[in-house]
Amino acid sequence: MSPVDLPVPRSSTPAAAPPVASISRERYEQLAWRVRLLSWLSLGWMTIEGAVAITAGIVASSIALVGFGLDSVIEGVASVVIIWRFTGHRVFSHAAEERAQKLVAAQFFLLAPYVGFESVKALIDAEHAAVSVVGIALAVGSVVFMPMLGIAKERLADQLGSAATKGEGRQNMLCAYLAGALLVGLLGNALVGAWWLDPMVGLLIAAVAVREGVEAWRGEGCCVTSPLDATGFAEDGCEDECCAPAALVPACSLDGNGMVAQGARYSEIGQSVLHSERSPRSLTVALSPSVDLALVEETLRVERRCCEFFDLDFDPDRRLLTIAVPTEEMAPALEAISSALGTQPTH
């Protein structure tokens, strides 16, 4: 089982010995299997928890219990999404990961409007929820069980670089926090008649769901570069566009100071530009006879060394400079040079 070296995002400050993550195909598949297992466990628990909470909430007229049950249903859907994400050829799919991340995030936004509306309505109408022993027992079970699932999933998400799995783990942790708040509300109502705690907990559930949904949609909280990047096995078993690997983004090997110096060289050359033409994959610049030829050659020499994906050609007799990229996806790099030259290209 041979390891595969993975790039770890570099900070702007150079380090003496940057860390390197390592994973193999076999290890990735093993972690994916564990994620599926945990998601199946979650799905089983959420099915029971949702059914019991919604039923007990309706019987006791408790919006907090009903909201908690709906949250369980939504988390169950998120578990189904993760099971789908790590099944079959989608295990090594960039596209499936992105879809799963968005689907998991969307579950949060389904919960908030209903619970928020019903909570405000209960406060305005001063609706008193009945005491629910079943609800109290259910909340205690969730406070104990959910953190174990959530922590395990978040640890696996960090190793897999999966924002979708991270989002599901955070949903489990949210369930534990909300179960604790629900327990406070139910006990407060049962022991001292604090009926208003129930709808207040409902509002808390709605607010936290919105925040977690936004963060899950953005993919926040996943702190490891995806092992699918640059491993070479992401394409294995690909049968449709769902598992197509992400396009590689061109990178420049210059550091900050080098990029500033190269930008200054382009800027100086830009003062000699007579006119330019631009196509989606190329930039052609006509320079004046007074241009510094040595500067142009030095600039192109640096560019060839740091950005090998560029196709660079300079005709010193005609003072004609052509810069091209192999694909339209790399056009932003071409645009950066055009901007540095200060050109106003015609198409």
- Each domain of the chain, given as residue ranges in start order, spans 4-243, 257-341
Query: Side-chain half-sphere of 293: how many Cα atoms within 13 Å?
Result: 8
Q: For residue 22, what are the β-bridge partners?
A: 5
pLDDT at residue 264 tops 50: yes
Query: Cβ contacts of residue 219 below 8 Å, gap of 6+?
Result: 101, 163, 166
Query: Cβ contacts of residue 30 below 8 Å, gap of 6+?
Result: none
Cα dist. 269→53, 277, 310, 311, 333 in Å?
Answer: 70, 16, 18, 18, 18
If you average pLDDT over residues 60-67, what whole number do you get? 76
Integer Cα distance of 8 and 18 in angstroms: 8
Q: Which residue has the higher pLDDT, 64 or 272?
A: 272
Q: Which CATH class is domain 4-243?
A: mainly alpha
pTM of the model as a whole: 0.50
pLDDT at residue 194 tops 60: yes
Q: For residue 278, what are the β-bridge partners?
A: 283
User: Cβ–Cβ contacts within 10 Å for residue 233, how many?
Assistant: 15
| Model pLDDT, residue 241 | 44
**pLDDT above 70 covers what percent of the chain?**
76
- Same topology, domains 4-243 and 257-341? Answer is no
- For tokens 């955070």, the residue is 170
| Model pLDDT, residue 206 | 76
Note the Cα 237 to chain centre separation in Å.
24
Query: Cβ contacts of residue 33 below 8 Å, gap of 6+?
Result: 86
Total count of residues recorded for the chain: 347
Integer Cα distance of 103 and 77 in angstroms: 9
Fold of 257-341: Hypothetical Protein Ta0175; Chain: A, domain 2 (3.90.1070)
pLDDT at residue 21 tops 70: no
pLDDT at residue 328 tops 80: no
